[in-house]
């Protein structure tokens, strides 16, 4: 393990610092704990966006991001980003593997690790929403483990002093590029490989109704809270002049979000003829915060309002464009995190202003402050680099999973819902309307099946019809799906206190 420590990174989140005060460490750890609550926010937002038959499954996937992403980040990921041992270069770090220390750097190392861990798990969680309602949980767990490495490489490029983009002067204070653009690009690749949910676009590009709008709104508030820790914590302390930058980051984060929220409400009224659409407003606020994440300590409050409002517009129309392209993203992760992350990185090159406390822009101004095109060009190069790497890494992981274990639920499993098939949660115990069979999704289901079921007795009849349909090609009693349906029928009958037929 490396023994040396590095100085503060001047371009955003930092590696290991050797001059942390206990005040700084308290700030870092508290910010880390706040950021960790964003997992709850993502889980609630995503569970509210999907159908109710998949809401538990999506929460479990958010837990898997922490569990499997966390263990891989501790093992290798942190060292790939911030390692200083022999072999480290501008592309990848070496050292700090299986993070541990008993030496004088223990406090600095552990505080930094916990902070960076919260960022790493967030980058993976972004992808879970885009893959919702049709992904095998086991395959997703494997993906969560390896996706950490997709995130760690760009983190080294941008946030470690040896990273090649860091040396060029790239600025990404809290992760518009490293976290959000990387996660949004991974989401795009995942939706392409998974293909849309069954029947999603058979009636056009209109988005489905939210399964639980209240969950989505509560998730927004939790993410709003967490984002303040995300951006303000990236000052990596409060000693010296860093507390001033933390305070500024809070103002920029709030201004970006309220500017985006205002724009989102206006767009909703226009696009939905006087109605206040929940998804539009929620994703607008999130898109605005993504937009100011890279620049939260280096732009002015009025610029944050503009940046956030543009992020709102991009998130709304980006989602509509993706639907026209039939790229099915149930929660809008691609537009919110990918498109707005791209905008956030470019906004630095436009609005950034050098400051004298931590020299976060290495003495450079953005375009509107007379800095010319250099910083904007570096930011654009950073975006291209992150998108290219994330596309390659994500495609490789998911393609290998697709060819081996498979990544998508079967049609029947998708119809029954992941809550039932992967967690054994009976829909009858959570409201009979949770399992919905739609006539749009019946390529392998007999036409006699009803369009919508709301009573468990009707579900039993439907399941038996599917099980015994004369045109099925898999009637063998040993067939796995037949056994599965037998279990479904038995469970439904037991729940209704109906004895199974002899």
Indicate the pLDDT class of residue 142, thresholds 50, 70 and 90. very high
pLDDT per position as a tens digit, 343-397: 999 999 999 999 888 899 999 999 999 999 999 999 999 999 999 999 999 999 9
Q: For 209-218, 260-269, 448-457, which range has the lowest pLDDT when averaged over its residues?
A: 448-457
| Terminal CA-CA length for the chain | 66
**Rounded average pLDDT over 426-438:** 45
Tokens of 76: 């290798």
- The whole-angstrom separation of Cα 74 and Cα 477 is 46
Residue 448 placed within a domain? no
Indicate the pLDDT class of residue 449, thresholds 50, 70 and 90. very low
- Residues in Cβ contact with 56 at an 8 Å cutoff, skipping those fewer than 6 apart: 47, 418, 419, 423, 425
Total domains present in the chain: 1
What CATH number is associated with residue 55? 1.10.3430.10
Domain hosting 402: range is 22-419
pLDDT per position as a tens digit, 56-86: 999 999 999 999 999 999 999 999 999 999 9
State yes or no: pLDDT of 402 exceeds 90: yes
Which position has the higher pLDDT, 469 or 190?
Answer: 190
Is 138 exposed, middle or buried, given 0-12, 13-18 or 19+ CB atoms closer than 10 A?
Answer: middle
- The whole-angstrom separation of Cα 298 and Cα 437 is 52
User: What is the model's pLDDT at position 206?
Assistant: 76
User: What is the model's pLDDT at position 240?
Assistant: 86
Task: For residue 270, count other CB atoms closer than 10 A to its CB.
Answer: 9
User: What is the model's pLDDT at position 16?
Assistant: 53
Indicate the pLDDT class of residue 474, thresholds 50, 70 and 90. low
Q: For 186-200, 248-262, 445-459, which range has the lowest pLDDT when averaged over its residues?
A: 445-459
**Rounded average pLDDT over 141-166:** 96
Q: Supply the angle between the helices 340-351 and 301-324 in degrees, to the nearest 10.
A: 150
Residue 191 placed within a domain? yes
Residue 285 placed within a domain? yes
Given a contact cutoff of 8 angstroms between Cβ atoms, the answer to whether 129 and 187 are in contact is yes
Is 275 exposed, middle or buried, given 0-12, 13-18 or 19+ CB atoms closer than 10 A?
Answer: exposed
Tokens of 410: 């079967």
Residue 359 placed within a domain? yes
User: What is the model's pLDDT at position 103?
Assistant: 85
User: What is the model's pLDDT at position 493?
Assistant: 62
Given a contact cutoff of 8 angstroms between Cβ atoms, the answer to whether 487 and 464 are in contact is no
User: What is the model's pLDDT at position 495?
Assistant: 56
Residue 5 placed within a domain? no
State how far the alpha carbon of 471 is from the alpha carbons of 446, 467, 481, in Å. Answer: 8, 10, 15
Indicate the pLDDT class of residue 483, thresholds 50, 70 and 90. low
- Residues in Cβ contact with 24 at an 8 Å cutoff, skipping those fewer than 6 apart: 236, 237, 238, 239, 242
| Closest C-alpha among 12, 355, 329, 8 to residue 186 | 329
- What's the number of CA atoms in the CB half-sphere (13 Å) around residue 448? 12
Residue 62 placed within a domain? yes
User: What is the model's pLDDT at position 66?
Assistant: 96
| DSSP letters for 306-352 | HHHHHHHHHHHHHHHHHHHTT---TT-HIIIIIIHHHHHHHHHHHH-
- The whole-angstrom separation of Cα 122 and Cα 454 is 37
Given a contact cutoff of 8 angstroms between Cβ atoms, the answer to whether 277 and 271 are in contact is yes
| Closest C-alpha among 294, 224, 302, 288 to residue 260 | 288
State yes or no: pLDDT of 20 exceeds 90: no
Indicate the pLDDT class of residue 207, thresholds 50, 70 and 90. confident
Tokens of 309: 């409002």
Q: Supply the angle between the helices 106-130 and 22-36 in degrees, to the nearest 10.
A: 20
Residue 488 placed within a domain? no
Question: In the chain, what percentage of residues exceed pLDDT 70?
Answer: 81
* Whole-structure pTM value: 0.84
Residue 116 placed within a domain? yes
Tokens of 88: 């480290």
Helix (H, G, I), strand (E, B) or coil at 6: strand
């Amino acid at each position: 393990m490396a023994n040396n420590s590095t100085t503060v990174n001047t371009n955003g989140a930092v590696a290991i610092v050797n001059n942390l005060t206990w005040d700084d460490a308290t700030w870092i750890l508290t910010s880390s704990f706040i950021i960790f609550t964003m997992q709850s926010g993502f889980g609630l937002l995503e569970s509210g966006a999907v159908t109710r038959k998949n809401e538990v499954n999506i929460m479990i996937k958010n837990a898997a991001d922490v569990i499997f992403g966390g263990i891989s980040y501790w093992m290798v990921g942190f060292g790939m980003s911030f390692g200083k041992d022999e072999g480290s270069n501008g592309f990848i770090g070496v050292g700090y593997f299986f993070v541990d220390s008993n030496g004088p750097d223990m406090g600095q190392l552990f505080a930094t690790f916990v902070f960076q861990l919260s960022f790493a798990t967030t980058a993976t969680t972004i992808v879970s929403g885009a893959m919702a309602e049709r992904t095998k949980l086991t395959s997703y767990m494997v993906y969560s483990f390896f996706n950490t490495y997709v995130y760690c490489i760009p983190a080294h490029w941008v946030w470690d002093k040896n990273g090649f983009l860091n040396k060029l002067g790239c600025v990404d204070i809290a992760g518009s590029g490293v976290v959000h653009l990387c996660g949004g690009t991974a989401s795009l690749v995942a939706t392409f490989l998974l293909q849309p949910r069954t029947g999603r676009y058979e009636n056009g590009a209109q988005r489905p109704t939210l399964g639980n709008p209240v969950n989505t709104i509560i998730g927004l508030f939790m993410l709003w809270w967490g984002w303040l820790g995300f951006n303000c914590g990236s000052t990596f302390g409060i000693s010296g002049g860093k507390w001033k930058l933390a305070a500024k980051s809070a103002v920029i984060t709030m201004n970006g979000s309220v500017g985006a929220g205002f724009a989102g409400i206006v767009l909703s009224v226009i696009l939905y003829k006087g109605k206040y659409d929940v998804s539009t407003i929620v994703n607008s606020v999130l898109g605005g915060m993504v937009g100011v994440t890279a620049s939260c300590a280096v732009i002015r409050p009025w610029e944050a309002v503009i940046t956030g409002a543009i992020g709102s517009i991009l998130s709304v129309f980006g989602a509509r464009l993706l639907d026209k392209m039939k790229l099915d993203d149930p929660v809008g992760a691609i537009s919110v995190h990918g498109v707005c992350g791209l905008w956030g990185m470019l906004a630095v090159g436009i609005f950034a202003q050098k400051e004298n406390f931590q020299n976060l822009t290495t003495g450079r101004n953005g375009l509107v402050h007379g800095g010319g095109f250099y910083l904007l060009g570096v930011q654009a190069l950073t975006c291209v680099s992150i998108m290219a790497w994330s596309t390659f890494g994500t495609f490789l992981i998911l393609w290998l999973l697709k060819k081996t274990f498979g990544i998508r639920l079967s049609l029947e499993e998708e119809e029954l819902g992941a809550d039932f098939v992967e967690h054994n949660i009976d829909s009858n115990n959570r409201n009979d309307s949770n399992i919905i069979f739609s006539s749009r999704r019946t390529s392998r289901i007999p036409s006699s099946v009803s369009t919508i079921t709301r009573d468990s007795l009707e579900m039993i009849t439907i399941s038996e019809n599917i099980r015994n349909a004369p045109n099925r090609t898999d009637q063998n009693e040993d067939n796995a799906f037949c056994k599965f349906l037998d279990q479904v029928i038995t469970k439904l009958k037991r729940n209704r206190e109906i004895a199974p037929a002899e």
